[in-house]
Amino acid sequence: MNLRHLLGRLFNHIDRPLAGLLALLLLTSIATVFSAANTSVDKLLAHLLNIAVALVAMIAVSHVPPQRLMQFALPAYVLGVILLIGVALAGDVVNGARRWLNLGIARIQPSELMRLAVPMMLAWYLHLKQETLSTRHFASAAVLLLIPVALILRQPDLGTSLLITASGVFVLFLGGLSWRIIVGGIVLAGAALPFAWHFLHDYQRQRVLTLLDPSSDPLGAGYHIIQSTIAVGSGGMAGKGWLNGSQAHLDFLPERTTDFIFAVFSEEFGLLGNLLLLLLYAAIIYRGLTLAALAPSLFGRLLAGAIVLTFFTYAFVNMGMVSGILPVVGVPLPLVSYGGTSMVSVLIGFGIVMSAASHKKLVKT
């Protein structure tokens, strides 16, 4: 077997247009992380290693047929719920939140597992009931969604619970749930916000108040938003140039390689750079949804579509957070922020999207 044939088999499930767009975003990430880390070579090498591991994971997952993924949906969901219960009973408390579970050989955060397990479970359930889908089945799927969300809310982790809720709602919407029901649910949730205020933790209330008036605590809770909005605004039309951002390089901007890396990018590349970055994200989302529509099974279409729309949600929430229009919830900018877990999980998701579109031969499940 020659090298060309071997490479052909290795990449035969990789969608070239989507892979090219992802490569452009990863190159943007490499340049921005290098600048945000004050040209640290060690940080850059660690970031390159994260990207390499994530790309290998994406290629490997792209070879897994959707019908095989369906076999993992229920076990992954059940395992995730059991681990979340374990966190509630015996999890480690860090900074006032019980989110980690110590297994002896490693400490894990089960809510990260649920980011893929929840949409997989809901897509599997609706696929199973596709011949007789009714309101009752959507109600059952909603219960399957609410169980892990309630456990994550209890930790407390409002940001992750809202994002997992969004991924589940995307599956239900793509599965045929009326948009009127979804909009009605959002309206009811909005109407309940004044009552929910009394159940929020102190730090969650502080985030909302800080969003409304960052200057009320400029050196404390409002510091992140104030510094990030200064960085975004100071970039102007064309930016200050790569490696020339003063907010990042003078250490005014916190979490500049992770949650607030968009502020670094905005300061150095300006409004024009932001527009190009938004265009790149839009192209990735469009191509991803196109591949989701090509999936031959309902499970593949629902899961791939939900993964792409969740990718959009993460990008929107991060940019809104950094720009001061959304509360700070600790969400990285997908495929741009430094971080191995986020990088691997997002590219595994796109591996699933490519698999769903490229595997045409189905077996009865």
Tokens of residue 216, six digits: 């009320």
Domain-by-domain residue ranges, the chain?
22-63+200-365, 69-198
Q: To which residue do tokens 């989302």 refer?
A: 285
Please give the C-alpha separations between residue 250 and each of 142, 253, 256, in angstroms, as whole numbers.
Answer: 48, 8, 11
User: Measured between alpha carbons, how far is 91 from 103 in angstroms, rounded to an integer?
Assistant: 10
Please give the C-alpha separations between residue 193 and each of 30, 145, 190, 208, in angstroms, as whole numbers.
Answer: 40, 20, 5, 12
**Non-local CB neighbours of 168 within 8 Å, separated by 6+ positions:** 118, 119, 122, 141, 142, 145, 149, 306
User: Measured between alpha carbons, how far is 33 from 245 in angstroms, rounded to an integer?
Assistant: 12
The residue type of 359 is H
Of 116, 115, 133, which is closest to residue 172 (Cα–Cα)?
133
What's the DSSP call for residue 239?
A: -
Q: Which pLDDT belongs to residue 249?
A: 77
Q: Which pLDDT belongs to residue 51?
A: 95
Of 69, 96, 48, 129, which is closest to residue 338 (Cα–Cα)?
48
pTM assigned to the model: 0.88
How far the first Cα of the chain sits from its last, in Å, is 34
Please give the C-alpha separations between residue 97 and each of 56, 57, 100, 152, 186, in angstroms, as whole numbers.
Answer: 33, 30, 9, 10, 27
| Beta-carbon-side half-sphere exposure of residue 1 (alpha carbons within 13 Å) | 6
3-state helix, strand, coil in the chain (%, to 5): 70, 5, 25
In sequence order, what E strands does the chain have?
A: 92-94, 97-102, 107-108
What is the pLDDT tens value at each position of the chain, 365 positions in all? 566 766 667 778 899 999 999 999 999 999 999 999 988 899 999 999 999 999 999 999 999 998 888 999 999 999 999 999 988 887 777 666 677 777 776 677 788 788 889 999 999 999 998 888 888 899 999 999 999 999 988 887 777 888 899 999 999 999 988 888 888 877 887 777 677 666 666 666 666 666 665 666 666 667 778 888 888 888 889 889 888 888 877 777 888 888 899 999 999 999 999 999 999 999 999 999 999 999 988 999 999 999 999 999 999 999 998 888 888 777 889 999 998 878 888 999 999 999 998 877 544 44
Of 314, 339, 346, which is closest to residue 329 (Cα–Cα)?
314
Greatest alpha-carbon span in the chain: 67
Name beta bridge partners: 101.
108
**Non-local CB neighbours of 81 within 8 Å, separated by 6+ positions:** 147, 148, 151
